[in-house]
Copies of this chain bind each other. A is one copy, B any other.
Amino acid sequence: MEPMAAPSPGKCHKANEVIALIGDKWTVHIVMQLATGKKRFSEIERSVDGISRKMLTTTLRGLERDGYVTREVFPTIPPRVEYELTNFGRELSCPLRALGDWAAANHDRVLAARRAYDNRVED
Contacts and interface: CB of A to CB of B under 8 A. Distances in A.
A73 interface: no
Given A109-B88, A117-B65, A23 B28 contact: yes
Chain A: number of interface residues, binned into ranges: 35 or more
Task: Report which residue of A14, A47, A103, A113 has the largest number of chain B beta carbons within 10 angstroms of its beta carbon.
Answer: A103
A32 B12 contact: yes
Contact of A9 (B21, B49, B116): B49
Interface of A: 1, 3-7, 9, 11-25, 28-29, 32-33, 35-37, 47, 49, 64-67, 87-88, 90-92, 94-96, 98-104, 106-107, 109-110, 112-114, 116-118
Given A94-B102, A95-B98, 15 more contacts: A3-B37, A12-B32, A15-B101, A16-B28, A17-B107, A18-B103, A18-B106, A22-B23, A22-B103, A66-B114, A66-B117, A67-B109, A95-B95, A95-B99, A98-B98
